[in-house]
Amino acid sequence: MSDQPAMRPLRVAVLGCGVVGSAVVRLLTETSADLAARVGRPLELVGVGVRRAGRNRTASGIDEALFTTDSHDLVTRADLVVEVIGGIEPARSLILRAMEHGASVVTANKALLAEDGPTLYAAAAQHGVDLYYEAAVAGAIPLLRPLRESLAGDSVRRVLGIVNGTTNYVLDKMDSSGAGFSEAVEQAQALGYAEADPTADVEGFDAAAKAAILASLAFHTRVRGSDVHREGITEVSATDVQSAKDMDCVVKLLAICERTTDASGLEGVSVRVHPALIPRSHPLAGVREAFNAVFVEADAAGQLMFYGRGAGGDPTASAVLGDLVAVARHRVLGGRGPGESTYADLPILPMGDCVTRYHISLDVADRPGVLAQVASAFAEHDVSIETVRQQLRPASAPGGEHGAVLVIVTHRAPDAALSATVAALSELPVVREVASVLRVEGM
């Protein structure tokens, strides 16, 4: 405590000291003079909450005395709390306890926000504190502040994003080297772009949580992770990637949030995560390796794109510290950041109502009349075919006898109609296998 209360440092607690937490702590120390000048008061790190004591933490360069396993106590001694533990518990309890004790919270926890964001918002409102989470989606890319604030006078129509670096790295490798999925995942793991258990990334759980957060902000409507239709990239084959190339397209895992209307004209929100073909001329097609990018379409602004690093210690810490400066400035100058905005309260439209285009690969018998039967199945479900490409399959391929591959691209159709078409195709004796169904976006 100082004799000049106005210059009393703001006390900062950091919960979690993994890749992001240690970067936050390091940058807090290295740039303390800049941060103090920007906030108008010094920031003082009062503790770093960790799960286990006794680990060798000297390598981190952080003063050993700052570490504590009692995060429950630590959050009561801070004005500002940074939560970078991740996961639901104990992160949620610690955040709520911090707010009860009057601390503003900065978090990078997309899973918690997607599952239980409203509880955190309600606690922030009740205790008159801030909840900021720029780092939860697309790491270093300033994206949530633009959505929440810069576009606050506009109407967002659509958000189309590459928000998971691991899957983008895997798909980019498959595209550039022709590698299969497993091989590309192994490369990503060797380079640290994928975890030993890559499920959360490759099955789209991580992207779905981020899509829920983006849709909530874009459409002023509560969207949870469980509202998001989710398909991962494990079924994407080298053949699919090559077929995309033949169409001058690339396969990307997209998070898509749309304000749209269903068949009855009801306005609602469609939120989904799935692999999709996009044209190579689309700005998102050029997003390579583990980079992230998000394309936003708004009524007045038109098309916007935000590009940068979506993960990593320093990039994520940049977003965390930007938020920390914002909530610290509110302590110094008064005011508060935006709270939860759900006034539009649009319904979440079922996936069956989602209208887009499709790329379907069928393994068929090489017999006259096959195409006619296949085309009839599409016509019966009102799905209009745009192009058909037929490739002969060598006899040596699995299946023994001669066959062919039909690659069909449709015009726009509802997902329910496409699903019914695929079910009907599977029943056709001439169709040996529906090898893949991928959506086509960004045209």
Q: Smallest gap, in angstroms, from Cβ of residue 105 to a second copy? A: 15
Does 6 participate in binding a second copy (rule CB under 8 A)? no
Q: Going residue by residue from 105 to 124, which x/- string records binding to a second copy, judged by CB under 8 A?
A: --------------------
Annotation marks residue 245 as catalytic: no
Q: Which two tokens stand for residue 22?
A: 């240690």
Do the bridges between strand 80-83 and strand 156-162 make them parallel or antiparallel, or are there none, so unpaired? unpaired
Where is 11: in which H helix or E strand?
strand 10-15
Does 305 participate in binding a second copy (rule CB under 8 A)? yes
φ/ψ of residue 296, rounded to 5: -125, 135
Could you say which of 70, 73, 149, 386 contacts a second copy (CB under 8 A)?
Answer: 149
Could you say which of 41, 173, 224, 309 contacts a second copy (CB under 8 A)?
Answer: 309
Does 340 participate in binding a second copy (rule CB under 8 A)? no
Binding segment (CB under 8 A) for a second copy, from list 23-31, 187-195, 267-275, 386-394:
23-31
Does 330 participate in binding a second copy (rule CB under 8 A)? yes
- 266 close to 256: Cβ distance less than 8 angstroms: no
Could you say which of 146, 225, 414, 442 contacts a second copy (CB under 8 A)?
Answer: 146
DSSP state at residue 400:
S
Binding segment (CB under 8 A) for a second copy, from list 9-17, 165-173, 188-196, 320-328:
320-328
Treating both helix axes as pointing N-terminal to C-terminal, what angle do 165-177 and 181-190 enclose, rounded to 10 degrees? 120
CA distances from 304 to 139, 147, 277 (A): 18, 11, 20
Distance of CA 264 to the CA centre of its chain: 30
CA-CA distance, 7 to 139, in Å (whole number)?
31
- 346 close to 269: Cβ distance less than 8 angstroms: yes
CA-CA distance, 134 to 110, in Å (whole number)?
10
Could you say which of 8, 19, 32, 38 contacts a second copy (CB under 8 A)?
Answer: 38
Does 141 participate in binding a second copy (rule CB under 8 A)? yes
Could you say which of 86, 203, 307, 366 contacts a second copy (CB under 8 A)?
Answer: 307
Does 382 participate in binding a second copy (rule CB under 8 A)? no
Report CA Rg, the chain: 25
Residues marked active site are found at 210
List of residues contacting a second copy (CB under 8 A): 23, 27, 31, 34-35, 37-38, 134, 140-142, 145-146, 149-155, 220, 283, 286, 298-309, 312, 314-315, 317-326, 329-330, 333-336, 338, 341, 343-344
